[in-house]
Structure 1
Amino acid sequence: MKRILDCRASNFRQMGREELKGAILAAEGRTVMAETVVVSQPLLPEITNAELAKAFGADLILLNVFDVFQPEVRGIVPFDIFNPDSGAGTVSNPIAEIKRLTGLPVGINLEPVDASADAVESLNVLPEGRRATARSLAKAKELGCDFVCLTGNPKTGVTNAQILQAIGTAQEHFGGLIIAGKMHGAGTRGSVIDREAAVSFAEAGADIVLFPAPGTVPGLREEELAGIIAEVKEKGALALAAIGTSQEGADEGTVRTIALSAKRAGADILHIGDAGYSGMANPENIMALSIAIRGRRHTYIRMAASPLR
């Protein structure tokens, strides 16, 4: 099994669920996932945020606010700032195009919304194409998503109970790599860190259980996270630590500190969110995170590797 560090576009094209999970495991905590908002004007209008994230060291691309029934990724059709009429047009399958442009595995967020959630404030109403339903998961498979992340954006009312249910639905209708968990409250009350819920996600078939990284939500300590991750790994799942509370727009030193803490706690994947500038992390922070967890050599190789390889 190749480490994800050594995988190129031709390797990723041949990978299924188990092969991708094995490649991440083999990299020993040196995998970077970058999240981007597909409906935002890209940071550089001539290209997608996904391409920019890859150029700064991401191994996996997670698309946020992606509607499987109205698929769009802004930047696939470049916008010329000197020509207001440019940037129009659509691509029939943006997932396939992002995979072609970056040479990386690409996945999407689908949100297990709980209509009865005890909400902190008014919740957003999501279209079915963004929710974790049987139809949307089947459509994600049809579009060629390599993984789905069953989690919640702010004010969406996603609960652990609904995430657990969605894992079973994804097992039946999706078939790719399943990531499940919460990186913040998603508008609901109660603790984001729930040991029992995390273990139940792994037992239900999640390949990767998602946690907030230490220092990103109040009160989460590295030692506490390490204990929960150890239990999840005993169930056969991997662990993802997420920077999903807008600290992806903090200074590089903060990002490095969070990344190393998460790696010490046992994270297999370090995630960096989309709330820096214009729907993605500050690009320099993606690189800083990557260098912190795996050094310049592997970072520069990922940055430079052509999708034609």
Structure 2
Amino acid sequence: MKRILDCRASDFVQMNREELKQSILAAEGRTIISENVVTKSLLPEVSNAELSKAFGADMILLNLFDVFNPGVHGVIAESTFHPNTGSEAGSDRGVIRRLKELTGLPVGVNLEPVDEGADKLETLDTLPEGRRATAASLAEAKTLGFDFICLTGNPKTGVTNEQILQAIQLAKEHFGGLILAGKMHGAGTKGKVTDIDASVRFAEAGADIVLLPAPGTVPGLRERELAAIITAVKDKGALALAAIGTSQEGSDESTIREIALSAKRAGADVFHIGDAGFGGIAVPENIQALSIAIRGRRHTYIRMAASPLR
């Protein structure tokens, strides 16, 4: 088994759930997931996924993707100077396999375990079934070719820890790939974002990677608190992901480095960077800054340069 640092497209295409998890573990806290909005792209000539890979991401996480109406902006190239050429052709059931060919990376999707009875902090959005974590959407995600799913909540969606726990069970039954689960912010509901008991229950229920906010993102989360949760999660056999999902992916590079090193000291195996820079992606240089901070220029440049034909 190779570390994810050493994996290329030909390796990823052969990996199953357990092999992908083991490759992340073997990299010792040097794996990056870049989250992308699919409804737009920063540069119309390419998808945000391709741009993320070009700046050092190891895995791509799609946000706002509807599994029953699949499409990713930028997979069909447009032109900045001729915006009506090459326009998106609507629903495309082959788009995920095409995106994996273009990037040579594992691709995952956010599916949201919405709690209709959540104690709300604000008016919540209504989501289509293709974005919710249901038995049907999880099975469709498998059919489309996703390598992993992330059971979490966007702002204003009403996702709760109780519903995430139920969604993990559904994912084990209907999806079969790598399962990420947890909250990176409140998602429009009251209650603690970081909850050691909930995180342990996620791991016990079968989450391969438990998602947690990185220190310095949600208010009051300190490195020592995150370290305690990560230790408890790892004792249950899961890996830990530290997320920058509070729009700080659009901040300056020094902020990204500070957050990244704090999360690494706390024990994170995976580092997530969100999509709220501009154009549905983190500031691209911040993906690179995150990568250099946690693993140096060597592995960063290799990932940036490696062809999807390898």
TM-score (norm 2): 0.98
| Match in the other structure for 2:110 | 109
* Alpha-carbon displacement from aligned partner over 1:253-283 (angstroms, at most 9, x marks no partner): 0000000000110000000000001100000
Q: Secondary structure at the match of 2:193?
A: coil
Shift in Å, 1:94: 1.4
Shift in Å, 1:299: 0.2
| Match in the other structure for 1:273 | 274
| Match in the other structure for 1:302 | 303
Q: Secondary structure at the match of 2:242?
A: strand
1:171-186 equivalent positions in 2, closer than 5 A: 171-186=172-187
Distance in 1 (CA, whole Å) between partners of 2:83 and 2:307 is 31
Distance in 2 (CA, whole Å) between partners of 1:44 and 1:51 is 10
| 2:19 corresponds to 1:19 | yes
Shift in Å, 1:83: 2.2
| 2:66 corresponds to 1:67 | yes
* Alpha-carbon displacement from aligned partner over 1:173-214 (angstroms, at most 9, x marks no partner): 000000000000000001101010000000000000000000
| Match in the other structure for 1:7 | 7
Distance in 2 (CA, whole Å) between partners of 1:24 and 1:85 is 41
Name the aligned partner's letter for residue 227 of structure 1.
A
| Match in the other structure for 1:262 | 263
* Alpha-carbon displacement from aligned partner over 1:120-139 (angstroms, at most 9, x marks no partner): 01100000000000000000
| Match in the other structure for 2:144 | 143
1:238-253 equivalent positions in 2, closer than 5 A: 238-253=239-254
Distance in 2 (CA, whole Å) between partners of 1:73 and 1:186 is 24
* Alpha-carbon displacement from aligned partner over 1:32-82 (angstroms, at most 9, x marks no partner): 100000012x11110000000000000000000000000010001111122
Distance in 2 (CA, whole Å) between partners of 1:54 and 1:260 is 21
| 2:204 corresponds to 1:200 | no
Q: Secondary structure at the match of 2:204?
A: helix
Given that residues 73 and 88 in structure 2 are in contact (C-alpha distance below 8 angstroms), is that contact kept between their aligned partners in structure 1?
no
* Structure 1: gaps spanning 5 or more residues: none
Q: Secondary structure at the match of 1:35?
A: strand
Distance in 2 (CA, whole Å) between partners of 1:243 and 1:88 is 30
Given that residues 93 and 144 in structure 2 are in contact (C-alpha distance below 8 angstroms), is that contact kept between their aligned partners in structure 1?
no
| 2:250 corresponds to 1:227 | no
Runs of 4+ in 1 over 4 A off after TM superposition: none
| Match in the other structure for 1:58 | 57
Distance in 1 (CA, whole Å) between partners of 2:35 and 2:174 is 24
1:116-131 equivalent positions in 2, closer than 5 A: 116-131=117-132
| Match in the other structure for 1:77 | 76
Distance in 2 (CA, whole Å) between partners of 1:105 and 1:88 is 23
Distance in 2 (CA, whole Å) between partners of 1:82 and 1:230 is 51
1:36-51 equivalent positions in 2, closer than 5 A: 36-40=36-40, 42-51=41-50
| Match in the other structure for 1:288 | 289
Distance in 2 (CA, whole Å) between partners of 1:6 and 1:297 is 11
| 2:194 corresponds to 1:189 | no
Shift in Å, 1:301: 0.1
Distance in 2 (CA, whole Å) between partners of 1:56 and 1:74 is 19
Shift in Å, 1:84: 3.4
Q: Secondary structure at the match of 2:42?
A: coil
Given that residues 150 and 180 in structure 2 are in contact (C-alpha distance below 8 angstroms), is that contact kept between their aligned partners in structure 1?
yes
| Match in the other structure for 1:170 | 171
Shift in Å, 1:88: 3.4
Aligned length: 308
Shift in Å, 1:92: 3.1
